[in-house]
């Protein structure tokens, strides 16, 4: 491992996230493969989207599209790309406006404002091509505000390229450099990669990195929420098409340009529901100690569903096969959401809570501690 060095700014702390074994979940599921998680909330801005924000800003500067002291960066986003852009622009000195649907968490808006961005909320019901959508509002602002520029994560080639040149190689390096042992056998290749799709840049870029330079037979699986239309074949989207889903950061009602439809980039798709995603978040936290967000739960739920399928079972049952799941962000951005509060503050009491209550209810020199919330 390289010796730690002083970094010039927070952008130098983007990426270089850990690959962590999910051994407890693998054991619970009876998996013989290595189940590995690429944990992106350790990046400076808290998510996988830091990578594309940094790449898009630096590329726009090189191309002369950003003018110091004048440019106003405007971006429609579900929040995490906005946070990455606001962080980058705070360092670089550009003004930022983020347009974001109402369903996205209050924490995301608060973080954006903390970083100096202006935030405009848009109706959840607005179709992507409506003037009222977060995309339509961003376009209007760009037309009217002098020096306004939309870096456009949905079309910007630096979105998938950021993952082809950073995320993918990091995964390859970690897997290839971890020795195979009798206790922990490994092919030392990435045999399967599984990730959620929002813009699709993440899964497209990582797939290209894995298949071009590492393992052409790597099987790439996209996870798409029910209600979204990104999965292929399109008949997978028929059930629940257009229905609302609570999970943030994945799924769309249109296919972004950066999501590759080339054969062999994404080999398989799995649909997941909120009812599968949010319990998986709790499972990751309590089994593996990783404080992940909702789309990470969807990714794990999709991974386990695929590994139990006819297509995925040969990988699940093979010792030494490496299955990597991308966990896109952390719980920081969702702690006021109903699904998280239901999971934590409003959960049923666990057995240990009654033991604590009994102990504190007995005669004690500290009667002030006799009341315990049953759900903590």
pLDDT of residue 27: 98
CB 375 within 8 A of CB 346: yes
Active-site hit among 32, 38, 49, 235:
49
Helix (H) or strand (E) holding 31: none
Q: What is the CATH number of the domain that holds 199?
A: 3.40.50.1100
- Helix (H) and strand (E) counts in the chain: 13, 10
Task: Name the pLDDT band for 366 (thresholds 50, 70, 90).
Answer: low
361 assigned to some structural domain: no
Residues 123 and 54 in one domain: yes
Phi, psi of 179 (to 5 degrees): -65, 150
Whether residue 370 has pLDDT greater than 70: no
Indicate the residue among 92, 126, 150 that finishes a domain: 150
Residues 253 and 291 reside in one and the same domain: yes
Mean pLDDT of 338-343: 95
User: Do 65 and 42 lie in a common domain?
Assistant: no
pLDDT in tens, 14-50: 999 999 999 999 999 999 999 999 999 999 999 999 9
Query: What total of structural domains would you count in the chain?
Result: 2
**Judgement on whether residues 186 and 283 belong to the same structural domain of the protein:** yes
Out of 120, 150, 180, pick the residue that ends a domain. 150
Interval 111-139 mean pLDDT: 94
Query: Is 319 an active-site residue?
Result: no
Residues 220 and 71 in one domain: no
Residues 281-335 pLDDT 10s: 999 999 999 999 999 999 999 999 999 999 999 999 999 999 999 999 999 999 9
Q: Find the DSSP H helices in the chain.
A: 23-29, 49-62, 80-92, 106-114, 134-144, 158-162, 168-176, 201-213, 274-288, 294-307, 313-316, 338-343, 351-361
Q: Tell me if 301 is assigned to some domain.
A: yes
SS3 193: strand
Kindly report the average pLDDT of the chain as a whole number. Answer: 94
Q: Is residue 370 part of a domain?
A: no
**Does the residue 336 lie in any domain?**
no
- Shared domain for 170 and 236, answered yes or no, is yes
- Both 21 and 170 in one domain: the answer is yes
Tell me which of 312, 327, 342 is where a domain ends.
Answer: 327
Q: Encode pLDDT of 141-164 as tens digits.
A: 999 999 999 999 999 999 999 999
141 with 52, same domain?
A: yes
Q: What is residue 374's predicted lDDT score, i.e. its pLDDT?
A: 46
Is residue 8 predicted with pLDDT exceeding 70? yes
Residues 164 and 94 in one domain: no
Cβ proximity of 91 and 119 under 8 Å: no
Handedness of CA 101, 104, 106, 111 (dihedral sign): negative
Clarify whether residues 186 and 307 are in a common domain: yes
Separation CA 231–CA 300 (nearest Å): 17
Binning pLDDT at 50, 70 and 90, where does residue 240 land?
A: confident
What pLDDT does residue 376 have? Answer: 42
Vertex 289: Cα angle to 285 and 291 (nearest 5): 55
**pTM above the 0.75 mark?**
yes
Alpha carbon 78 to its chain centroid, in Å, reads: 11
**Average pLDDT value for residue range 89-111:** 95
Burial class of residue 290 (count of CB atoms within 10 Å of its CB; 0-12, 13-18, 19+):
buried
77-96 mean pLDDT: 96
**DSSP for residue 326:** E
Q: Are residues 58 and 207 in the same domain?
A: no
- Same domain assignment for residues 245 and 312: yes
- What number is the average pLDDT over the span 244-257? 94
Task: Give the range among 52-61, 123-132, 180-189, 310-319 with minimum mean pLDDT.
Answer: 123-132
- Say what the pLDDT of residue 6 is: 97
Query: Looking at residues 211-239, what average pLDDT do you find?
Result: 96
Which residues form the domain of 117?
48-150
% of the chain beyond a pLDDT of 70: 96
Q: What's the distance, Cα to Cα, between the start and end of the chain in Å?
A: 39
Burial 82-112 (b: 16+ CB within 10 A, else e): bbbbbbbbbbbebbbbbbbbeebbebbbebb
DSSP-derived letter for residue 266 is S
């Amino acid at each position: 491992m390289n010796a730690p060095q002083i970094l010039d700014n927070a952008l130098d702390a983007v990426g270089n996230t850990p690959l962590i074994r999910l051994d407890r979940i693998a054991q619970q599921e009876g998996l013989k493969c290595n189940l590995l998680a690429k944990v992106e909330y350790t990046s400076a801005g808290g998510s996988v989207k830091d990578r594309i924000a940094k790449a898009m800003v630096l590329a726009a500067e090189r191309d002369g599209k950003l003018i110091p002291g004048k440019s106003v960066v405007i971006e429609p986003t579900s929040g995490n790309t906005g946070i990455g852009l606001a962080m980058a622009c705070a360092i670089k000195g550009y003004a930022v406006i983020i347009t974001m649907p109402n369903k996205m968490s209050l924490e995301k808006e608060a973080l954006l404002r903390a970083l100096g961005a202006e935030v405009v909320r848009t109706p959840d019901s607005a179709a992507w091509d409506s003037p009222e959508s977060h995309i339509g509002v961003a376009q209007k602002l760009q037309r009217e505000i002098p020096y306004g520029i939309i870096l456009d994560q949905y079309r910007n080639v630096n979105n998938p390229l950021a993952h082809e040149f950073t995320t993918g190689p990091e995964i390859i390096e970690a897997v290839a450099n971890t020795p195979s042992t009798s206790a922990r056998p490994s092919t030392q290749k990435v045999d399967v990669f599984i990730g959620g799709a929002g813009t699709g840049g993440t899964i497209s870029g990582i797939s290209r990195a894995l298949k071009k330079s590492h393992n052409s037979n790597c099987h790439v699986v996209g996870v798409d929420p029910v209600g979204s239309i990104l999965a292929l074949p399109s008949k997978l989207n028929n059930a629940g098409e257009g229905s609302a889903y609570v999970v943030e950061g994945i799924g769309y009602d249109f296919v972004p340009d950066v999501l590759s439809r080339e054969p062999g980039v994404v080999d398989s798709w799995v649909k997941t529901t909120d009812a599968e995603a949010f319990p998986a978040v709790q499972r990751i936290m309590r089994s593996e100690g990783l404080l992940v967000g909702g789309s990470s739960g969807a990714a794990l739920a999709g991974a386990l569903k695929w590994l139990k399928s006819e297509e995925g079972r040969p990988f699940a049952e093979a010792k030494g096969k490496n299955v990597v799941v991308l966990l896109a962000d952390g719980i920081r951005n969702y702690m006021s959401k109903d699904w998280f509060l239901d999971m934590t503050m409003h959960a049923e009491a666990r057995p240990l809570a009654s033991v604590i209550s009994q102990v504190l209810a007995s005669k004690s020199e500290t009667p002030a501690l006799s009341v315990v919330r049953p759900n903590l």
